[in-house]
Chains A and B, each alone.
Chain A
Amino acid sequence: MGSTLEILNKVIGVLLERYVSLFGFARPLLSLIPVSVLAGAGLLWVFRKTSNPVSILSTKKRLQAHLLEMRLYGEEPVVVWRALKALLWDNLRYLRLMLRPALFATLPMILLLIHLDRFYGRAPLPVGRAAMVTVRLRQPIDVSIPAPVLHAPPGIIVETPAVRVLSARSIQWRLRPLRNVSGRLRLVFPWGKLEKDIEAGTPRHILSARRVRSTADLLWHPGEPRLGSDAVDWVEVNYPPASLRLAGFNLHWLVIFVVTSTLSALLLKGRFGVVL
């Protein structure tokens, strides 16, 4: 299961990298619009394959009929009450009809969002600004064992020795990129070594903030293969959040993604023969 997810993550990662490179890494807004439209279209395709448009249409018509009934017979409490009950019932029926396609769309959409967030949601470490690397251990810290040593690639300096925070089972370092760097951190423990990708200064990059040990975590942190050690839960670089500039505003990429994919789905639903 773990290796299958690793392979899937790798494939999605490569595809995403190829895709954003078409637009140049420095122009994320340009690449986000098409992928949002495609996501909207993809949702419509899933809906077409998994929904029952006839039932949805008839339910929608019944909902409209009940609303009309309430408006026309507003002075008849018994009719209005009956229409309200029917309206509630048909609403539930509508939700049930939407549930099946929504369930089919959820997994691919979550995977897509997690991967897109690696590019659009985080920025590489700014050059000249301090950043932090954190290692979370599985077991409580044994202070009698020497602290691990962090080796950064050229262009990044490690400014502090390891800080072992006993209550959090974590070990942290402060580092500072001096120039653009795309490399790997090397953590040397008494029992072995670990590595972690790090990016600094480059305009945009597909990032992996956290490298994890468990398969479950791999779903949420898909950027790198699982850690080989049982002693460490995860290793993380605190990349700063990124935003996209649109019409003078800094917006979270998800806002642009949701608006664009929703609009495109509404515009294209007729072509896909989807009833929403």
Chain B
Amino acid sequence: MSRPGLPRWVSHLIVALLLFQASCARLPGRAGNRRMIVLGVDGMDALPNLDRLRQQGSFQRLATTIPPQSPVAWSTVITGMDPGGHGIYDFVHRDPATRMPFSSMAETAEPGRSLTIGPFVFPLTGGQVRSLRRGRAFWQILAEDGVPGTIVRMPANFPPAESKARSLAGMGTPDMRGTFGTFTYFTGDPQEQTRQVPGGRIVRVNVSNYQVELPIDGPVNTFRKERPRASCPLVVHLDPSEPVARLDIGETQVLLKEGEWSGWQRAEFPLIPGLRQASGIFRVYLRGVRPVFRLYVSPVNIDPEDPELPISTPSPYSRELARAVGLFYTQGIAEDTAAVRAGVLSHEEFLAQSRLVMMESLRLFQYELEHFETGLLFHYFSSIDQNSHILWEKYDGELLEIYRAIDRAVGRAREKMGEDGTLLVLSDHGFSSFRRAVHLNTWLLRENFLALDEPQNTGNEELFAHVDWSRTQAYALGLNGLYLNLAGREPGGIVLPGPQSDDLERRLTERLLEFRDPETGDAVVGEVYSPRKLFHGSSLEQAPDLIVGYERGYRASWQTALGAVPAAVIENNTEAWIGDHCIAAKYVPGVLFANRKARLADPQLYDVTVTILKEFGISPAGGMIGRPIY
């Protein structure tokens, strides 16, 4: 149980508590009044203060999915199927026809027909946002059986699955730019240049006469032929001598001191003048006034009071929440790890931002908990996961504070449940350190599985810029995926399906398991999985041909995830992102706490789904592969 990084007393407490597992399983109440609360805590490895829950019921390791990525894992919880059933294998999939990556969770379809008048384009049929996850969500099944459900911020649930349940979309919900979150950092630093960075933009500005006008970018304006990005101005007035500024957003004025966060501000993006506008919300952080002006603007989130895209069922639910608890982050992953990676937010500034996210999440949770009577309440907490990426093994005290905050939420859920009903607290995966970044495409190059147009064309250029497909047998994309360059599937693919591809998979697996870190001699890859042999179901068309499970301390580099081929095979991870879980699944199991004693010794994530349905007397749906845990 003890893991490097957490204080020793936590490990001792956990061991001691395991010895005190109490047998407090109770018979469920009458079907009509059954109550269940499920708290999904992404990335949680162990909570220090769940002793009462543990004494009352059980604590177990919960096997995670292969690969142990949140969209994959939570899709498994949602559907009770493994990736072979729900079809989600990574944050990104690739289109075999182009080998280009796209979001695995949702896609947007443009309107089919439109009418063009002058510079304007009027859609005649509606566009569509569609979830790419297959299978039915467990709360859809519950709702059909008349069980009321409230599902708050479930990952991989954008757009939210249609049902009578109240649900708010979670991870996978885009910002107003249509990305997973793009911050903007305005700076007057003459050394800086306007440029894109992963997850954001750095924009060089000139302050003139103590004033600067900044464009806040919103959605692409599909009502105009040339499809420009809609924008709304943010005017900043700097005091001539004090470290303080006034920000004007439309009619709203905000005064901020250096080092302060604003509350949520509403931006109205004009689409058709006087007729149609899109509303978004954002926060700003005034990093500096002088000598250099520096302002961080959060990704512009979908406004929950006036959402441009479907983020809740029923659709007024997000408005109800916003009016009850105030505006809140709606983008799927709200903690801005991209900004801290880019050096735009310092460590402390990131912690402050992630605290804002957590406070909002706790307010949403408190609101739903107060209104919970019967049925199912699911609430997802992202804070431990996102903070672990930045704090793991290096900032234990700060991480423990977040664990404690979640623990207090668990305590409130226990109080609410009293003696009847079931309380589950689960995480989809654990965590490990990320010390060495593996450039898997470069390894493929060295092993002659991949070829470049010119040998010297290694570098950080993404999307296989210099790959010679006529000589390439395999390529890596995403955080764990490895694909064959298969004839008949990939254009110009050279590996024939059948014995040739089977042999290539075998050779790749063998070589990967023999892969040693040239600097330390340690094994880099712990496990290699073949989705077609491993998974159940028929949703295999997006499956990688092999899934690479790295050893502890290793992970695919950021460049690998987007198809770059840098010069080195492995490099030290020097970024702020120091913890991860996209490794071999055996190293990063999740955890499951319950106020009931478990029957299964080795529960899996898909068992949770069947367990929830059983709680309400409902049989598993077709395709579900789990067993009841209790």
Contacts and interface: CB of A to CB of B under 8 A. Distances in A.
B255 A166 contact: no
A166 B210 contact: yes
Contact-residue bracket for chain A: 10 to 19
Interface in B229-259: 237, 239-246, 253, 255-257
B209 interface: yes
B209 A147 contact: no
Contacts of B246: 163, 165, 172
A186 interface: no
Contacts of A143: 240-241
B211 interface: yes
A163 B242 CA distance: 8
Contact of A166 (B240, B242, B243, B256): B240
A221 B237 CA distance: 27
Contacts of B245: 163
Contacts of B244: 160-163
A10 interface: no
A159 B210 contact: no
Contacts, number: 47
A163 B209 contact: no
A160 B237 CA distance: 14
A197 to B, nearest CB: 21
A261 B244 CA distance: 48
Given A163-B244, A166-B209, A132 B239 contact: no
Interface string A117-160: 00000000000001010000000000100010000000000011
Given A165-B246, A167-B211, A147 B255 contact: no
A165 B240 CA distance: 9
A60 interface: no
B237 A159 contact: no
Contacts of B211: 166-167
A164 interface: yes
From B237, B255, B256, residue with most partner A Cβ within 10 Å? B255
A147 B238 CA distance: 13
A174 interface: yes
A45 interface: no
A44 to B, nearest CB: 39
Contacts of A132: 253, 255
A167 B237 contact: yes
A132 B254 CA distance: 9
A166 B235 CA distance: 13
A173 interface: yes
Contacts of B256: 160
Given A163-B245, A165-B246, A167-B211, A172 B255 contact: yes
Given A132-B253, A160-B255, A174-B255, A165 B242 contact: no
From A161, A163, A168, residue with most partner B Cβ within 10 Å? A163
Contacts of B255: 130, 132, 159-160, 163, 172-174
B209 A160 contact: no
A164 B210 CA distance: 9
A209 to B, nearest CB: 15
Main secondary structure of the interface of A (DSSP, over half): mixed
Nearest to A238: B253
Interface in B253-290: 253, 255-257
Nearest to B257: A160
A160 B391 CA distance: 32
A164 B240 contact: yes
B237 A165 contact: yes
Nearest to B263: A130
A161 B245 CA distance: 10
B236 to A, nearest CB: 10
From A130, A165, A166, residue with most partner B Cβ within 10 Å? A165
A160 B239 CA distance: 11
A162 to B, nearest CB: 7
A143 B238 CA distance: 12
Nearest to A143: B240
A260 B530 CA distance: 77
Contacts of A162: 239, 242, 244
Contacts of A161: 239, 242-244, 257
A123 B244 CA distance: 28
Contacts of A172: 246, 253, 255
Contacts of A166: 209-211, 237, 240
Nearest to A161: B242
Contacts of B243: 161
Contacts of A173: 255
A174 B255 CA distance: 6
Contact of B242 (A130, A147, A167): A147
A15 B242 CA distance: 44
Interface in B5-41: none
Interface in B307-339: none
A159 B257 contact: yes
A99 to B, nearest CB: 35
Interface in B443-478: none
B257 A147 contact: no
A160 B244 CA distance: 7
A159 B259 CA distance: 13
A217 B425 CA distance: 62
Nearest to B209: A166
A237 B26 CA distance: 60
Contacts of B241: 143, 147
Contacts of B210: 166
B310 to A, nearest CB: 28
A165 B244 CA distance: 11
A160 B289 CA distance: 14
A142 to B, nearest CB: 10
Nearest to A141: B240
Nearest to B242: A161
A167 B243 CA distance: 18
A176 to B, nearest CB: 11
Nearest to B240: A143
Interface string B517-551: 00000000000000000000000000000000000
Contacts of A130: 255
Interface string A47-85: 000000000000000000000000000000000000000
User: What are the nearest 5 A-B pairs in CB distance?
Assistant: A174-B255, A161-B242, A143-B240, A165-B237, A163-B239
24 contacts: A130-B255, A132-B253, A143-B240, A143-B241, A147-B239, A147-B241, A160-B256, A161-B239, A161-B243, A161-B244, A161-B257, A162-B239, A162-B242, A163-B237, A163-B244, A163-B255, A164-B239, A164-B240, A166-B209, A166-B211, A166-B240, A167-B237, A172-B255, A174-B255
Given A161-B243, A162-B244, A166-B211, 7 more contacts: A130-B255, A161-B244, A163-B237, A163-B244, A163-B246, A167-B237, A172-B253
